[in-house]
Amino acid sequence: MKILGISAHYHDSAAALLVDGLPVAAVQEERLSRRKNDAAFPLAAAEWCLESAGLEPEGLDAVVFYGRPMLKFERILTTALRAWPQGRSAFTHAMKNSLGEKVWVRGLIQANLGVPAKKILFTEHHQSHAAAAFLTAPTDAAAILTADGVGEWATLTVGRGRRTPGGATSIELLREVRWPHSLGMLYSTFTAYLGFAVNEGEYKVMGLASYGTPRFADEVRKVVRRTADGAFALDLGYFEFHTTVRRAYSKRFMDAFGPPRASWDPIDLATEDGRRYADIAASVQLVLEEILVELAASLHHETGLPDLCFGGGVALNGVANARVLRESGFSRLFVPPAPGDAGCALGAALYADRIHFGQPDRPLPDHPFWGPEADGAELARIAGEDGLPVEELGDAALIARTVQDLTAGRIVGWMEGASELGPRALGHRSILAAPHSAETRDRLNRDIKYREEFRPFAPIVPAELAEDYFELPPGGLRLARFMSGVFPVKPQWRAALAAVTHVDGTARLQALERAMAPRLHDLLMAYGKASGVPVLLNTSFNLAGEPIVNRVVEGYSTFRRCGIDVLAAGGARVEKRVRTKVQAEAELDA
């Protein structure tokens, strides 16, 4: 069967194509449209998926959308009517959006892809999250937890999944927490209050939390109360996101936590306000962790299963994930590379294949590389036209050359193979640098990523050596496969890994198994031989505000516009031309 999964209209639109139960292509719309967090109907992504598989839309057996638009519309309408007249602005906004696009998804899919209505299916949003988490994980039976801002009504679900190799699959969602009670909205509200962009700045709150002490935790526990059934409820007096689109938090929220931060105000931890922001971030982070640990622990108790699959945007919180792994009783925690809405395109397609059509279970390749390929020949052509000398090298020569670059303190743009699905660069669209000095980190922040200094960079290490440098609990290696957990750097290595060690001594490492990206693994080993430490700084290959680069042309343009010294794509390598004074004078004379 050929099934196209689609996620769209909220944030991070994506398309994913499944052929005979296995993914063959998946990509986020932003990687092709070059608009960060593009939420438009993913026409370019869908077309690329079909094209890369040599399919026409009429060859599809089904197109599956990652949520039920009518249910979502009902939720928006009901919420607005309940909150009337304060809800008027949210209602008007929802009417415009929903009637324009969301409700008429079926028509939109028909019009855009030319697929007949009877082939268009819908999953519930959290079914997509659950399928993306469970069916991509190498486990036959697992508890499932999903948590995000909101789908139709659900904001968090717990359940369990079971699959028989070659046989049937079941995904049973046992209970849900419903809008407006939402851990995703709780965290996003604090994100907005702290002056960061919602759906993007949540990482910054997590990074900032490490600088603070959770002295507002009791206050946050009033904002999100625990309920008798073991779930939670927001005290809606602190919020306005459910009644207006203008602001997420209420006056009462500001009375409790003080004036909000304006996005343009720098965070200066030497000032009282700066410390207050960090302390508030630490407090909401702590309370989120406590709730997730307790929910997971009771799910462990209820299911008796050793594995937990965790999906939804909240599963991007690596600090919370590490605590869930350590404290909930589960032996293994699987977080997919794209736990957020982009991954729902794949989740929806998998759900339709295994559950709706009852197709037999197939083990999925355990990697995130489903996007367009990076082509070294393209780099050779573009750089050649631009007048930069290109070296075309075999693997061993490229690795030796890149080790020289990295040990000399150069920053390397590294592109190979298919791009990652999800928000993280996991070795195919990365900026690499030596991990040793805080200077490299500062240079990356200043010249390339243009971002706040409190945001840490992440290390990448061969999986088999990870425990030499990082303190991993049992199961930690798995969580680090897709950078889904934050763990302590061993104290004796913190100085040598200063560029990738956060202020609290932790790192969000990627533990790379050779089979996942052999050439990068070889590079890490060769770098270890040369420097004594087989660890590199690995950050996503993009500039602030731009999506991760996709094709070589975008990698090259990024390389030209920022402080990256070297670009390697496939077997091609280019280096910024360093002009000597004599050369510059000669050019001027000419």
Residues that bind Fe ion (CB under 5 A): 148, 341
CB of 164 to Fe ion, least distance (A): 28
- Local structure of 513: helix, strand or coil: coil
User: Does residue 259 have a cis bond before it (omega within 30 degrees)?
Assistant: no
Specify the residue, 148 or 202, whose C-beta has the smaller distance to Fe ion: 148
Specify the residue, 188 or 539, whose C-beta has the smaller distance to Fe ion: 188
CB of 341 to Fe ion, least distance (A): 5
CB of 484 to Fe ion, least distance (A): 16
Residues 6+ apart with CB under 8 A from 261: 193, 194, 195, 267, 273, 277
CA 136 to CA 127: how far, in whole Å? Answer: 14
CB of 348 to Fe ion, least distance (A): 11
Burial class from Cβ neighbours inside 10 Å (0-12, 13-18, 19+) for residue 89 reads: middle
CB of 306 to Fe ion, least distance (A): 26
Nearest C-alpha neighbor of 506 from the set 285, 290, 278, 210: 210
Specify the residue, 148 or 240, whose C-beta has the smaller distance to Fe ion: 148
How many of the other CB atoms lie within 10 Å of CB of 146? 32
Contact call for residues 364 and 347 (beta carbons, < 8 A) = no
Specify the residue, 73 or 414, whose C-beta has the smaller distance to Fe ion: 73
Specify the residue, 148 or 405, whose C-beta has the smaller distance to Fe ion: 148
CA 499 to CA 539: how far, in whole Å? Answer: 11
Nearest C-alpha neighbor of 421 from the set 383, 377, 368, 468: 368
Q: Which residue of this chain has its Cβ atom nearest to Fe ion in the complex?
A: 148
CB of 337 to Fe ion, least distance (A): 15
Specify the residue, 338 or 434, whose C-beta has the smaller distance to Fe ion: 338
CB of 340 to Fe ion, least distance (A): 6
How far apart, in Å, are the Cα atoms of 243 and each of 41, 89, 106, 314? 26, 7, 28, 23
Specify the residue, 197 or 297, whose C-beta has the smaller distance to Fe ion: 197
Specify the residue, 124 or 341, whose C-beta has the smaller distance to Fe ion: 341
Nearest C-alpha neighbor of 436 from the set 486, 516, 509, 501: 501
Residues 6+ apart with CB under 8 A from 163: 134, 135, 140, 141, 169, 170, 354, 361
Specify the residue, 307 or 341, whose C-beta has the smaller distance to Fe ion: 341
Q: Using the 8-state DSSP alphabet, how is residue 548 labeled? A: P
CB of 125 to Fe ion, least distance (A): 6
CB of 346 to Fe ion, least distance (A): 13
Residues 6+ apart with CB under 8 A from 193: 248, 249, 253, 257, 260, 261, 280
CB of 127 to Fe ion, least distance (A): 11
CB of 336 to Fe ion, least distance (A): 13
Residue type, 163: R
CA 104 to CA 252: how far, in whole Å? Answer: 38
Q: What are phi and psi of 243, to 5 degrees?
A: -120, -20
How many of the other CB atoms lie within 10 Å of CB of 229? 9
CB of 422 to Fe ion, least distance (A): 13
Strand-pair category, 2-7 with 62-65: parallel
CB of 342 to Fe ion, least distance (A): 10
Specify the residue, 94 or 130, whose C-beta has the smaller distance to Fe ion: 130
- Token digits of residue 234: 């927001």
Nearest C-alpha neighbor of 434 from the set 402, 463, 456, 466: 402
How far apart, in Å, are the Cα atoms of 135 and each of 21, 122, 155, 432? 11, 18, 20, 31
Contact call for residues 16 and 5 (beta carbons, < 8 A) = yes
Specify the residue, 146 or 539, whose C-beta has the smaller distance to Fe ion: 146
Specify the residue, 341 or 416, whose C-beta has the smaller distance to Fe ion: 341
Transcribe 414-481 into DSSP letters: EE-EEEESSSS--SSEEEEE-SS-HHHHHHIIIIII---TTSPPEEEEEGGGHHHHB---TTHHHHGG
Specify the residue, 290 or 341, whose C-beta has the smaller distance to Fe ion: 341
Residues 6+ apart with CB under 8 A from 194: 201, 204, 205, 208, 260, 261, 277, 280, 281
Specify the residue, 154 or 248, whose C-beta has the smaller distance to Fe ion: 154
CB of 313 to Fe ion, least distance (A): 6
Q: Report the first-to-last Cα separation within the chain, whole angstroms.
A: 64
